[in-house]
Amino acid sequence: MTDAPRLVETFFADMQRGAFSDGLLASDLTVWTTTGGQADPSLYRAIPAAMRRLFPGGLAFTIDSITCQDDRAVAEVRSQGRVDDGSVYANTYVFVFRIRAGRIVSVAEHLDPTRVPPALGARILATIRALTDAAS
């Protein structure tokens, strides 16, 4: 698991950059989120690009800790950014990653859903869907 911290750091750098690096996520990726349960991996792959559109200055992620054991890595993370409507968004998270052969094969994203205003949540989902529809 010597690559696990680097993979987790790359995941969050890619979230800020607006696209996941080639080869970071496994082709058989599974995803779970607090707000949606089991999620469509193709929609999850579009999240960085959606965040770049909705947060013109970027949604900054701060990794407070990464703990690794066997094929898992757990990251405690904070985010903050200004939405394109001028409002400020911030949240705290715990991400649980499973890693196989140098790639992330599973992401479980736990966050505080009370910090996601309903209108922002709807815009995020609509932006993700538009991006995945355009790529189809």
Is residue 136's pLDDT more than 90? Answer: no
Mean pLDDT computed over 17-30: 96
Check: CB of residue 59 under 8 Å from CB of residue 79.
yes
Q: For residues 46 and 14, is the Cβ–Cβ distance under 8 A?
A: no
User: How many CB atoms are closer than 10 A to CB 77?
Assistant: 21
> Is-contact 75 69, C-beta < 8 A?
no
CATH class of 4-126: alpha beta
40 Cβ contact list (under 8 Å, min separation 6): 31
Which SS3 state, helix, strand or coil, does residue 136 take?
coil
Per-residue pLDDT at 89: 94
* pLDDT, tens digit (0-9, with 9 covering 90-100), for 26-53: 999 999 999 889 999 999 999 999 999 9
| Predicted local distance difference test score (pLDDT) of residue 107 | 98
Tokens of 31: 């995803």
